[in-house]
Amino acid sequence: MTSNSEIGAVAHAEIRDAVQRLVADFPGEYWRKLDRDREYPTEFVSALTTAGYLGMLIPEEFGGSGLGLSAACAVLEEIHRAGANGGAAHAQMYTMGAILRHGSPEQKARYLPDIASGKLRLQAFGVTEPGAGTDTTRISTSARRDGDDYVVSGQKIWISRAEHSDLLLLLCRTSPRDASAKASDGMSLLLVDMREAIGNGLTIQPIRTMLNHATTALFFDELRVPVANRIGVEGKGFKYVLDGMNAERILIAAECIGDGRFFIERAAAYAGEREVFGRAIGQNQGIQFPIARAHVQISAAALMVDKAAAMFEAGQPCGSEANMAKMLASEASWYAADMCIQTHGGFGFAEEYDIERKFRETRLYQVAPISTNLILSHVATHVLGLPKSF
């Protein structure tokens, strides 16, 4: 296992090289089988954990590496650039931030070392609901106080990796929306031990989607959660959730950059090798220009990701930059995906090339964890000062 000091001593270039070596042990055949069977990449996640990558952002005092967000971005970018997918593990990197920044000393000491070592998986984040969508202030999952417990009832949807996580961060209402001064007040963040909850008030229902993302719906029926598992102050959970979303969006943007580079490299290689009418198709500007444009767009988006990560590491407000990085990177990766399919023609749809799988995977990020339209709305009202739409 790579030690904390060993990880901390290397530059990002060395981290990238190390990740490339690790991912090489998990070639396309591995991911294709998982995709066909909708299986969780247990061996891959274990390898990332053993190498210390999933505990990178956890301080050394709690068993992590204490590195910055830009280092985590480098890891996820290289995973996706190699044709793999970090979605099964990326939440382990940022979800623990709620405990790190807002948890009690007892909670930090209890959970962070085991999360850093991989003994505990914290990869599930319960926010979205069927009736609320992207308007988080309208969630209805409730948690009423009963002695030393909260009693939780309600439903969540589009919750990834709940079946493969030991812990769940759950946002729920501890007071009604109309009883709060602000719509965002009255929500609390609870840490649910899934090992105890399943079958005792929590039911998980898998949702089969177009990509292998272990997506589920969660049903809570009088689930008891100790008050000691509340993160921070009661009623302030929405603030804690927002605090962690910047890291999430920057890391996912880095994944999109990796996807884009995967598509560009595959397309350029194929265009140089594939011959039609006696010459390589890459000699045609109709093939060259879309590949070049994809490279330009990914290169520009990568600079925005770097800027957002640097601001996050410096402790500067970076909500707008994180949103813009995620939007630019997701759109650039989608353009690159479409270009790669077009370059390969019929072969782009063949499973063995891995392009159609990555094509499906990268499309997600214009919808989740936040849609492009919501980002544009944020920029319009918070950056440009335009009036809010109703």
CA gap 125, 369 in Å, rounded: 11
68 to 231, 247, 378: CA distances (angstroms): 23, 11, 26
- Please provide the DSSP assignment of 284-343 as one string: SHHHHHHHHHHHHHHHHHHHHHHHHHHHHHTT---HHHHHHHHHHHHHHHHHHHHHHHHH
Q: Quick one: DSSP state of residue 3?
A: -
Characterise 278 by phi-psi region: left (phi > 0), alpha (psi -120 to 50), beta (else). left
CA gap 38, 212 in Å, rounded: 5
CB 251 within 8 A of CB 308: no
Strands 167-173 and 275-276: unpaired
Q: Any alpha helices (H) in the chain, and if so which ranges?
A: 4-9, 12-23, 28-37, 42-50, 69-81, 90-94, 97-102, 105-117, 194-197, 237-273, 285-313, 319-344, 355-363, 372-378
Give me 249's structure tokens.
């969006």
Q: How many residues does the chain have?
A: 390
Q: Quick one: DSSP state of residue 364?
A: G
Residue listed under structure tokens 């090798």? 273
CA gap 129, 137 in Å, rounded: 11
Whether 248 is catalytic: yes
- Report which of 50, 74, 77, 53 is spatially closest to residue 65, judged by C-alpha positions: 53
Which of 78, 129, 248, 356 is catalytic? The answer is 248
Give me 369's structure tokens.
């964890």
Q: Quick one: DSSP state of residue 210?
A: S
Please return the burial class of 169, using the count of CB atoms within 10 Å of its CB with bins 0-12, 13-18 and 19+: buried
Cβ-proximal residues to 142 (8 Å cutoff; 6+ apart), any chain: 152, 153, 154, 172, 173, 174
Looking at the annotation, which residues are catalytic? 248
